[in-house]
Amino acid sequence: MTAQPPVRRALPVDAELRRRAAAVVPGGLWGHMDVSRMPAGYPQFFEHAEGCRLRDADGNEYVDFMCAYGPMVLGYRDPQVEAAAAAQAAKGDVFDGPAPVLVDLAERFVETVAHADWAMFQKNGADATTTCVTLARAGTGRRKILVAKGAYHGAVPWCSPSVAGVTAEDRAHLLEYEYNDADSLRAAAAAAGGDLAGVVATAFRHDVRRDQELADPAFARAAREVCDAADAALILDDVRAGFRLHPAGSWEPLGVRPDLSAFSKAIANGHALAAVAGTDRWREAATQVFVTGSFWCSAVAMAASLATLERLAAPEASQHMAAMGVRLRDGIDAQAAAHGVSLRQSGPPQMPLILFDDDPDLAKGSLFCLEALRRGVYLHPWHNMFLSTAHRPEDVDRALEATDAALAAVARGFPAAA
């Protein structure tokens, strides 16, 4: 195996911003957008975005396949969404209570999401998943929550992927199962015994650094059965996937409806909003818990969401994203075969992940992404990516020009017989 060729890029404005950030922000940045966790060469700071095009602080433009890690589903600065947001902002955003748009938006959720009898709104995806867990416990008087091993449900103590600063008690009543493994789910439910409050499942398996797995319908049905048998809550964590796969809920094509579902990311095309949708079985519990936040009733994000969901409710939206994802996937598959590079593309086409064979340290994936990056295409080496309705065939084709060259670089850097 050869050493990874350096793919350094001169980003002087970004470097200066990072130098200043390092002084006043621990580690320069927190969380999932911290590019110090990624291969050297990624820009940290961004200046401008429109449609599916993103411009870093040094003025480099990218066709973006991360969509701000999900929120951007109709394109950055979508004119209709921003007009709706501006119209609300001209009247007001926060008040001493909600604006009428809250009712419009809750009605829209109930109309659109198949299992929803009601909705509540928050700011973070973790607000929504945590509220679902709290509702499951309040509505059953029980404590145990089943979660899939390695699944991401937010970065708060009960579910953060890091245990720094977390106590054992924060996770005292979690029991793990293996995603898509009905037997392991039933075993975990048996271990919970009479204390089972709920089962949490992501829309599909989208853990980082491993091939994605679509939800097996038999697994989804087993989750429904386990919850029905115990009168426990089936909680669909649709934060990451919601409204990209199916407007009625990501498990609707499987024929399995959850009791509670958590949304965020794409529901307001970039405005900060999260939502919990639930069935009438859990309505009373939702009146008993006390969950709130200073900005949970903010009207501008709700107006943006209403405009976003109107567009996403049409099946053409997810169909277009899927078609663009397939175009990208098929193109990369053909290029990889031509260059003799072995890689795996997994997950729904709207949320692709590309991992390379024989790449335990992600050196190939990193080289691939950096070579694409310097050719104006923003991909991610180990986190699922996102398509939007703003990706047009010509954007994907523009990306494929870059991936072809990037795969050639991988073939050169990692000769098969090395």
Which 3-42 residues touch a second copy, going by CB under 8 A?
A: 17, 20-21, 23-27, 29-33, 35
Tokens representing 215?
A: 């939800």
- Is there binding between residue 260 and a second copy (CB under 8 A)? no
- Is there binding between residue 181 and a second copy (CB under 8 A)? no
| Binding range to a second copy, per CB under 8 A, among 63-71, 179-187, 343-351, 357-365 | 63-71
- Is there binding between residue 151 and a second copy (CB under 8 A)? no
Token pair 């404590």: residue: 143
- Is there binding between residue 114 and a second copy (CB under 8 A)? no
Q: In whole angstroms, what is the distance from residue 354 CA to residue 39 CA?
A: 15
- Is there binding between residue 107 and a second copy (CB under 8 A)? yes
- Is there binding between residue 191 and a second copy (CB under 8 A)? no
- Is there binding between residue 158 and a second copy (CB under 8 A)? yes
Strand ranges across the sheet with 61-64: 46-50, 53-56, 61-64, 377-378
What x-and-dash track marks residues 217-256 binding a second copy by CB under 8 A?
A: ----------------------x-----------------
- Is there binding between residue 71 and a second copy (CB under 8 A)? yes
Tokens representing 297?
A: 């009733």
- Is there binding between residue 161 and a second copy (CB under 8 A)? yes
187 neighbors 194 (Cβ within 8 angstroms): no
What letter does residue 287 receive in the DSSP assignment?
H
What letter does residue 2 receive in the DSSP assignment?
P
- Is there binding between residue 124 and a second copy (CB under 8 A)? yes
- Is there binding between residue 48 and a second copy (CB under 8 A)? yes
Per DSSP, the residues of 215-249 read: PPHHHHHHHHHHHHHHT-EEEEE-TTTTTTS-TT-
- Out of 166, 187, 323, 408, name the contact with a second copy by CB under 8 A: 166
Instruction: Tell me the angle at which helices 182-192 and 217-230 cross, rounded to the nearest 10 degrees.
Output: 20
What x-and-dash track marks residues 73-92 binding a second copy by CB under 8 A?
A: ---xx----x------xxxx
- Is there binding between residue 137 and a second copy (CB under 8 A)? yes
- Out of 41, 63, 109, 222, name the contact with a second copy by CB under 8 A: 109
- Is there binding between residue 60 and a second copy (CB under 8 A)? no
H helices present in 49-100, as ranges: 79-89
- Out of 162, 194, 360, 417, name the contact with a second copy by CB under 8 A: 162
| Binding range to a second copy, per CB under 8 A, among 119-127, 178-186, 244-252, 349-357 | 119-127
Strand-pair category, 61-64 with 343-346: unpaired
267 neighbors 302 (Cβ within 8 angstroms): no
Nearer to a second copy, 69 or 411 (CB): 69
Secondary structure of residue 175 in the 3-state scheme: strand
> Least distance to a second copy from the beta carbon of 412, Å?
27
Q: In whole angstroms, what is the distance from residue 2 CA to residue 401 CA?
A: 25
**Of 213, 188, 206, 209, nearest to 198 (Cα)?**
188
Tokens representing 189?
A: 């439910």
Sign of the torsion formed by the C-alpha atoms of 401, 331, 248 and 296: negative
Within 10 angstroms of residue 406's Cβ, the number of other Cβ atoms is 27
State which of positions 332-391 bind a second copy (CB under 8 A): 378
Nearer to a second copy, 325 or 413 (CB): 325
What x-and-dash track marks residues 264-303 binding a second copy by CB under 8 A?
A: xx----xxx-----x----xxxxxxxxxxxxxxxx--x--
